[in-house]
Amino acid sequence: MISLFLVLAIGTCLTNSFVPEKEKDAKYWRDQAQQTLKNALRLQKLNTNVAKNVIIFLGDGMGVSTVTAARILKGQLQHNPGEETSLEMDKFPYVALSKTYNTNAQVPDSAGTATAFLCGVKTNEGTIGVSAATQRSQCSTAKGNEVTSILHWAKDAGKSVGIVTTTRVNHATPSAAYAHSAEREWYSDNEMSPEALRQGCKDIAYQLMHNIKDIEVIMGGGRKYMFPKNRTDVEYEMDEKSRGTRLDGLNLIDTWKSFKPKHKHSHYVWNRTELLTLDPHTVDYLLGLFEPGDLQYELNRNNVTDPSLSEMVEVAVKILSKNPKGFFLLVEGGRIDHGHHESKAKLALHETVEMDRAIEKAGAMTSLEDTLTIVTADHSHVFTFGGYTPRGNSIFGLAPMVSDTDNKPFTAILYGNGPGYKVIGGERENIYKVDYAHSNYQAQAAVPLRYETHGGEDVAVFAKGPMAHLLHGVHEQNYIAHVMGYAACVGANQDHCASASSAGGPSPGPLLLLLTLLPLGTLF
């Protein structure tokens, strides 16, 4: 057993050794603050251009504590202490907070929240692309209560559109861009109730292929929901769980191909090699399904079969950028959420760092002058880190003390609930005896649950580019969709667009004037 004295001594040593010499000089901090002040003063000149392109990066489950921990991890992967590192999203000039509750839930789910930030309407948990008049799992209540998304508005305006995710392409977040469903788990007709099938509701995979037939880019997982029941998967021939699920006998890959014009170049790919050998400049439509279900975690990713999120984003932007009218792109780092649900913080945080690489890639390929980029989360998790850890402490490491109650150590990262709750011999597990740095280590939790839960606090919204200043305070989550529509002159708010096209940038318009003149909090 390591003594309390030794643990504290280690902590003291780390604290002293990880203070860079330049940071001991007060001038360093004054100069840094002055430069930040100068940068902030430049923001007085607002970017009121029309957003030719809109990209929204959605870190599923990426609460503020996840952002902070991922920032430290990014720095430590670069062999730095970590705390001083900047994520790409940290560099965005405008930051707001988003209130994530669903209409019937204090702590939300990803379906209701995705409907909010993509369709501009808050709704009940578990429902997709419908208003709160829809009852979960009740097929008949969805009819007449459908709401459309920013992807739909952009397509109607002649823009190219794309969806890139590390989950199934028919999972909660991406499906809100194109589907209308009373139940988020209706991935294929195999998961639907007999009553819902009798009433004529369609599963989400079916809707992906039929609702908006000309989505230019779709990439993620979810192959098995596209094929007939028990059809063998191209990659996992012996795995029964990877086989096709559809009861209607449809091959939705063939359906997707049949809807594409003969004179256009359409490509279906199922592995990384096929994706990266494509010439994006000759591709008009791309469907990439790289796993039967969700993609592998970034730490476990097979470099032969599964592309990284940043690789998918690079290909997507190249394809979509060919449209002179611009594009809308939804990018989801979806497995951040899954890592947290499993209480495997190492998996979740590496997913977040990879999404930040994708944000950097997209930023290098687009311009601040004509591209609105938003980074946000749908909800948080009951994930935290603390324990008075010293500067440069491994984000996956121990706190520099033991409990003053049971005299056992604890990691800086903890969960409020989840599968990491363990009692051995009537006492809390002694983590000196386990490999708490392992990728699959489940951090200790206060309450035992098979799956850790979401958190209910506000999440951050980072924005840059045209009209990014409209994200400026504490907002309802559904407001995000309206900002994207206003900035791009798609959807409902187009009163300012005529002057924008003639003058090279939009006049303030009623919405912007209202936001400028009223005190913060009057509207939201």
Q: Name which of 252, 189, 265 is nearest 226 in CA terms.
A: 252
Count the residues in the chain.
524
462 and 89 in contact (C-beta within 8 Å)?
yes
Residue whose structure tokens are 């880019």: 217
Would the annotation count 496 as a binding residue? no
CA atoms within 13 A on the CB side of 323: 24
Active site residue 110: yes
What DSSP string describes 214-272? T-SEEEEE-GGGGSBTTPPPSS-TT-GGGS--BSS---HHHHHHHTS-TTS-EEEE-SH
End-to-end CA distance of the chain: 54
Known binding residue 381? Answer is: no
Distance from C-alpha of 150 to C-alpha of 118, rounded to nearest angstrom: 6
Structure tokens at 383: 């994930």
- Within 10 angstroms of residue 259's Cβ, the number of other Cβ atoms is 12
CA distance 455 to 379: 7
Asked whether residue 156 is marked as a ligand-binding residue, the answer is: no
Residue 328 CA to residue 330 CA, distance in Å, equals 7
Asked whether residue 48 is marked as a ligand-binding residue, the answer is: no
Q: Is 281 flagged in the annotation as binding?
A: no
Asked if residue 284 belongs to a known ligand binding site, the reply is: no
Strand arrangement, sheet containing 413-418: 383-385, 413-418, 445-448
Quote the CA–CA distance of 147 and 157 in Å, as a whole number: 17
Q: Was 371 annotated as part of a binding site?
A: no
Q: How far is 377 from 117, CA to CA, in rounded Å? A: 10
What backbone torsions phi and psi does residue 479 show, to the nearest 5 degrees?
-60, -30
Strand 217-221 and strand 94-99: pairing? Answer: unpaired
**Active-site choice (17, 65, 98, 110):** 110
On whether 173 is known to bind a ligand per the annotation, the reply is yes
Q: Establish whether 180 is an annotated binding residue.
A: no
Two structure tokens written together for 311: 């690789």
Distance CA 421, CA 431 (A): 12
Binding residues for Mg(2+): 60, 171, 173, 332
Annotated catalytic residues are 110
Indicate the annotated binding residues.
60, 171, 173, 332, 337, 341, 378-379, 454
